[in-house]
Amino acid sequence: MKISYYNIGCKVNFAEISEIQKRLEEKGHSTVSFGEQTDAVIINTCTVTNHADSDARKIIRRALRLSPEAFVGVLGCYAQLKPDEIAQIEGVDAVFGIKDKFAVVDYIDSISRKHKPEIFVSDLKDLPFHTATSEDNESRTRIFMKLQDGCDYPCTYCTIPAARGGSRSMDFDELKSRFIQLNNAEQYEIILSGVNLGEYMAPTGENFTDVIRFLDEAGLKQRIRISSIEPNLIKPELLKIIKNSKTICPHLHIPLQSGSPEILALMKRRYNADFFRDQILMIKQQIPHLSIGVDVISGFPGETDRHFSETLDLLKSLPISYIHAFTYSERSGTPAESMPGKVASDTRKSRTMELRKLSETKKREFSESQTGIVLSVIPEDYNPETGHWAGWTENYVRVEFPAESDIEIKPYKIKLLKMLEDTVLGERLQKV
């Protein structure tokens, strides 16, 4: 059959839908782009925000308009939490929750259009870990490797524990084998992904620092980037490895969510603002060139102008490199949904915009601080008008440099010269 795929959500979701696609291709099915006429459509959903739920419904209806006779299977977090809501969309044939989503690989061999959707949603006890890897479809220069799934944290705004279950991780021997196999891949960067990646704990007892130590010592041709890690999980030994490594990228993405002690307490985060500040300053003291990205939620229930100012003041005072700002969205079944002090929608959005403006300032300051330095860049995008390639350094600075259109897609040593509008102009020196 011809099958198209659509993914909504995080890198873990992306890795999982890519794994499902690979398994179906191994069974003889072909892949067509979403939007083309197809025999089946598989849609992998997210439920982090109301927008994610809404996007999923729009994509399902769009798939049905484009291929009205196609089988439509809906998977993932939104499917786990609200399967009946999805099943009410006329034309949906099957809904698969988290525990059952990989069952679509076998189920699709015997599919037929149903008069009534079938729902495969199980409880989240004794969940297995499903290994998943994926290639970046756009640049084809990086691979995402899922090492961990689920979360045990009780954050009051989050549906992930209800949607994905408790924390679980890849077997350590399988992990080692997978990375050794990936050493033969054409890509030169691997991104480690997980729902709460720093909580990696193998059945045999190895933790996330053990993973990073193995990857640092494995002699892989790829550089390794950590997708996101909670501030309370950044251990001294982990930083020591990153500091001395030529393989592990000096780049950490660390959730803050709020700089207000009161709001952090309402969120039930596992740290306070002083701890977060101390962690960031300690990291930058040990590894000055390391890039730090920060997640922040604006408009959480009870967040006053004073609370938001505390967040802004903290962020302005810290040597971070960029901010991912999210507007708070009520999620059904979470404790935050019933908290008093709802923040007006316009206020939430204006605070998000203010955070994004600060992010641009921080990003430019960090990029400018790297000029005059030689770093490694993997070329991703070529602009024929300028004759420049663009890519990312190991510490996550966007760089463009002049080169032939047919250069090898491999890491190059680039001397960073000066800031352009939103990138740094560099000069190619040699291949790494």
User: Which amino acid does the sequence have at 122?
Assistant: S
**Poorest-pLDDT segment among 31-40, 204-213, 268-277:** 31-40
Alpha-carbon distances of 308 from 172, 303, 304, 311, rounded to whole Å: 42, 7, 6, 5
CB neighbour list of residue 244: distance below 8 Å, 6 or more residues apart: none
In angstroms, how far is CA 220 from the centroid of its own chain?
23
Whether the pTM exceeds 0.85: the reply is yes
How far out from the chain centre does Cα 162 lie?
19
pLDDT at 378 exceeding the cut of 80: yes
Residue 10: band (very low, low, confident or very high) from pLDDT cuts 50, 70, 90: confident
Its sign, for the CA torsion 177, 14, 264, 359, is: positive
CB atoms within 10 A of CB 423: 16
Mean pLDDT of 375-394: 96
- Where does the pLDDT of residue 361 fall: very low under 50, low under 70, confident under 90, or very high at 90 and above? very high
* Residue 139: both structure tokens together: 């640049």
pLDDT at 183: 92
Q: What is the pLDDT of residues 21-72, one digit of tens each?
A: 999 999 999 999 999 999 999 999 998 888 889 999 999 999 999 999 999 9
3-state DSSP assignment of residue 374: strand
| CATH number at 374-431 | 2.40.50.140
**Considering only CA atoms, which of 56, 136, 137 is closest in space to residue 95?**
56
Q: From the DSSP assignment, how many helices (H) and strands (E) are in the chain?
A: 13, 19
Mean pLDDT of the chain: 94
Looking at domain 2-120, which CATH architecture does it have? 3-Layer(aba) Sandwich (3.40)
Q: Which amino acid is at 21?
A: Q
For residue 67, give the amino acid letter: S
Residue 111: closest CA among 241, 230, 1 = 1
Q: Maximum Cα–Cα distance for the chain, whole Å? A: 65
Determine the CATH number of domain 132-365.
3.80.30.20
Q: If DSSP codes are grouped into helix, strand and coil, which group holds residue 7? A: strand
Q: Dihedral angle at the C-alpha atoms of 68, 72, 78, 84, nearest 10 degrees?
A: 80
- DSSP letter for each residue of 321-341: -EEEEEE----TTSGGGG-S-
pLDDT digits (tens, 9 = 90+) for 161-195: 999 999 999 999 999 999 999 999 999 999 999 99
Question: What residue segments make up the domains of the chain, in order of their start?
Answer: 2-120, 132-365, 374-431
What region, left, alpha or beta, does residue 113 occupy, with left being phi > 0 and alpha being psi -120 to 50 degrees? Answer: beta
Give residue-wise pLDDT tens across range 59-84: 999 999 999 999 999 999 999 999 99
Per-residue pLDDT at 112:
63
Residue 63: the pLDDT is 94
pLDDT digits (tens, 9 = 90+) for 303-312: 999 999 999 9
Copy the structure tokens of residue 336.
Answer: 């935050």
